[in-house]
């Protein structure tokens, strides 16, 4: 599965009543932005490597957080990460992200499931951790 | 692996990596890739050597068995010669038996040495395989890390060029709340419409005014029953 075939597959697919708005992100790396209907506020970004399909959504940036509550937030993020379906929490650069990795052999249906779950999880997490924003 | 992970963490904490520069620089990556290739090469060689040693050991085992079989067979011959009083012939056969036994013993020694080398080589193959798996894992971590950094840098650049800036979490939350409110309104509206269509809203209003069609019907039936008591 590469980003091109993914663009074609997601373009007119529906999964659990959701549709997908796919847009390639210009640049050297093959990156797609996918907006899942009903969760438009949290776009999911997909990149495909030799070993995995990586999907991630941004939550918040470090500078948006109340510094004195950051440790507590980290603790809660670690705890919530384990039971959360199909997604894990992480940090890249200044961005806190929720992400999921799939095998490159995954089919469209697994990828769509991941996208829907990730977009919904991102919304739930934002609302859950809203209190930690400065 | 530990070294690679520590390097990544150090670089990240230092914040040098926000723009997605490679943590383990290109040179480091090339060294890792070279080590990977060397390990692969060594593994291939060791496996080839192992295969030929094992074939040799099998062939030796076959030769030993042949010598032993021949010795056993000649023992029968020697017994027959003794029984026939052919002492000289028996001695000649005995010499042959000694030859077979000696060769069997020499071959067995060679085979034991070979067996030792095989054990050593198997150990080397196992170690090389483990080393190879380690290098592959390290390289995967380094490459994935770089990919994630380059990808997020690309996303940020792109979003920044489209909007004035990346929207903040608070703005996103606001938009989520607006959508959720819209969805709720829509649900309330469709529930209201449903009630109007089925007349349920009218029944509710009547009930609220103390006019209950259901209750009236029950009262009527009771009154009728009382008018015609059981005989």
Q: DSSP letter string over A90-106? A: EEETTEEEEEEEE-TT-
Check CB contact under 8 Å for A92 and B176.
no
Give the Cβ contact number of residue A88 at 10 Å: 16
ipTM of the complex: 0.86
Q: Pick the residue from chain B with its C-alpha nearest to A60.
A: B169
pLDDT of residue B20: 47
pLDDT of residue B207: 84
Q: Is the pLDDT of residue B167 over 90?
A: no
Residue A35: strand, helix, or coil: strand
Q: How far is A49 from chain B (nearest CA, A)?
A: 8
Q: Pick the residue from chain B with its C-alpha nearest to A38.
A: B179
Q: Is the pLDDT of residue B45 over 70?
A: yes
Q: Is the pLDDT of residue A59 over 60?
A: yes
Per-residue pLDDT of A63-98, as tens digits, reads: 999 999 999 999 999 999 999 888 999 999 899 999
Contact criterion met (CB below 8 Å) for B179 and A41: yes
pLDDT of residue B165: 60
pLDDT of residue B18: 47
pLDDT-above-70 percentage for chain A: 100
Pick the CATH number of A3-132 from 3.40.50.300, 2.60.120.260, 3.30.1460.10, 3.60.20.30: 3.30.1460.10
Pick the CATH number of B2-166 from 1.10.287, 1.10.3470, 1.10.1760, 3.40.720: 1.10.287
Q: Give chain B positions within 8 Å (CB) of A33.
A: 155, 158
Describe the strand order of the beta sheet including A88-92 as a list of residue ranges.
A14-15, A18-25, A31-36, A44-48, A53-61, A95-102, A88-92
Q: Which residue has the tokens 């997605």?
A: B20
User: Which burial class, exposed, middle or buried, applies to A98 when counting CB atoms under 10 A from its CB (0-12, 13-18, 19+)?
Assistant: buried
pLDDT band at B24 (very low <50, low <70, confident <90, very high): low
Q: Pick the residue from chain B with its C-alpha nearest to A29.
A: B151
Q: Domain ranges in chain B?
A: 2-166, 171-227
Per-residue pLDDT of B100-148, as tens digits, reads: 999 999 999 999 999 999 999 999 899 889 988 888 888 888 888 888 8
Angle between helices A3-11 and A108-128 (to 10 degrees): 80
Check CB contact under 8 Å for A61 and B18.
no
């Amino acid at each position: 599965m590469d980003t091109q075939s993914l663009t074609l597959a997601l373009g007119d697919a529906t999964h659990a009543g959701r549709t997908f708005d796919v847009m390639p992100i210009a640049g050297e790396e093959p990156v797609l932005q996918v907006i899942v209907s009903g969760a438009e506020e949290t776009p999911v970004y997909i990149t495909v490597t030799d070993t995995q399909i990586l999907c991630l959504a941004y939550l918040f940036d470090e500078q948006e957080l109340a510094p004195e509550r950051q440790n507590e937030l980290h603790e809660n993020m670690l705890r919530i990460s384990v039971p959360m379906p199909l997604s894990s929490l992480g940090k890249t650069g200044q961005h806190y992200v929720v992400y999921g990795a799939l095998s490159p052999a995954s089919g469209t249906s697994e990828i769509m499931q991941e996208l829907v779950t990730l977009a919904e999880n991102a919304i739930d997490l934002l609302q859950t951790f809203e209190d930690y924003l400065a | 692996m530990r070294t690679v992970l520590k390097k990544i963490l150090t670089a990240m904490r230092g914040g040098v990596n926000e723009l997605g520069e490679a943590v383990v620089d290109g040179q480091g990556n090339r060294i890792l890739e070279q080590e990977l290739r060397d390990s692969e090469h060594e593994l291939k060689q060791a496996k080839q050597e192992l295969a030929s040693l094992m074939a040799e050991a099998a062939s030796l085992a076959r030769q030993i068995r042949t010598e032993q079989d021949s010795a056993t067979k000649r023992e029968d011959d020697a017994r027959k010669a003794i029984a026939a009083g052919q002492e000289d012939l028996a001695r000649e056969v005995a010499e042959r038996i000694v030859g077979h036994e000696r060769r069997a013993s020499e071959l067995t020694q060679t085979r034991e040495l070979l067996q030792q080398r095989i054990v050593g080589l198997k150990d080397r193959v196992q170690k090389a395989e483990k080393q190879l798996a380690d290098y592959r894992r390290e390289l995967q971590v380094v490459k994935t890390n770089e990919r994630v950094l380059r990808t997020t840098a690309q996303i940020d650049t792109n979003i920044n060029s489209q909007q004035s800036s990346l929207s903040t979490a608070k703005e996103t939350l606001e938009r989520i709340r607006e959508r959720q409110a819209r969805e709720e309104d829509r649900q309330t509206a469709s529930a209201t419409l449903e009630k109007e269509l089925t007349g349920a809203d009218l029944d509710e209003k009547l009930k609220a005014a103390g006019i209950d069609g259901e209750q009236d019907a029950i009262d009527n039936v009771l009154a009728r029953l009382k008018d015609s008591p059981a005989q």
